[in-house]
Amino acid sequence: MIPNLEKITAFWCDVVNTIDGLLEETDEQSAHGLLSQYEHQLKGIDDNLTFHFERNEEDDRIEMVIGCDGYTQSIAAVLSLVDAAPMIDGVQVIAFNGRLDPMPALIRVGDDEYALDQFWFSQRLDGGEYHLSVFLEGLDDMDGNPVVEAVMVYLDALLGEFDLMTRVATLSWYDKPVDPIDFGLLPLAALRDSFEGLRKQVRLIGVTLH
């Protein structure tokens, strides 16, 4: 689907007119109202679009990161939105969640915290397709499962959202065995280096969740 240029233009006009107030807002409720307004407008462009703000520690600029929650069909919407972004003082607009270095020590989802060393993986390269399997405890229900959400945050941080969407052919989930090493599994912390060793052989494709 071709993104609606009028809606994209209207979104950026609204951001330009309100971003200074948002960044200076001290009232949490007022700030939440503006953020909800942005979210509503983005969903009107493409239902999978997401955004969040980060502070760049190097130059103290605010980064507005536009993503699509792993849905490859919405990549064009992200790129169109970022390409149309105007110059905004003190704010840099970025497409997709990038790799993080250093990695976060913990990921908090709701009331629970998850450490990177809780998770394991295996990988397979087949005809240029990269297949990733993640092993974790508490795999009762995929939908809304906080442990799955935590792993997805780690995968974004390890590989970057764009590589995760376009170079991982399948992402499968399994219960972690009692002794992962006996099953030839690797700790999730080793994923980036392991993936980079194969990256040149991996064809650009989409993601299928199993």
Is residue 25 within 8 A of residue 57, CB to CB? The reply is no
Q: Does 3 have pLDDT greater than 90?
A: no
pLDDT score for 144: 67
Average pLDDT over residues 80-95: 94
Rounded to whole angstroms, how far apart are CA atoms 40 and 47? 9
Q: Does 207 have pLDDT greater than 60?
A: no
Q: Does 114 have pLDDT greater than 60?
A: yes
The full set of domain ranges for the chain reads 5-95, 106-209
Classify the C-alpha dihedral 131-136-141-147 as positive or negative: negative
Q: Does 205 have pLDDT greater than 80?
A: no
Give residues with Cβ within 8 angstroms of 134, minimum separation 6. Answer: 119, 120, 121, 151, 155, 171, 172, 173, 174, 188
Look up residue 38 and give its two tokens.
């942005």
Q: Does 86 have pLDDT greater than 60?
A: yes
Is residue 182 within 8 A of residue 207, CB to CB? The reply is no
Rounded to whole angstroms, how far apart are CA atoms 108 and 147? 10
pLDDT score for 56: 75
> Each residue of 26-82: pLDDT tens digit?
778 888 888 999 999 999 999 999 999 888 777 678 899 999 988 888 999 999 999
pLDDT score for 126: 95
Give residues with Cβ within 8 angstroms of 73, minimum separation 6. Answer: 1, 48
Q: Which pTM does this prediction carry?
A: 0.77
Cβ neighbours around 148 below 10 Å, total: 19
Give residues with Cβ within 8 angstroms of 206, minimum separation 6. Answer: 72, 165, 166, 169
Query: Which residue do the tokens 């250093």 mark?
Result: 102
> Each residue of 144-200: pLDDT tens digit?
688 888 999 999 999 999 999 999 999 999 999 999 999 999 999 999 999 999 999
Strands 168-175 and 208-209: parallel
pLDDT score for 33: 86
Look up residue 210 and give its two tokens.
């199993």
pLDDT score for 164: 92
Nearest to 137 by CA among 117, 118, 156, 112: 118
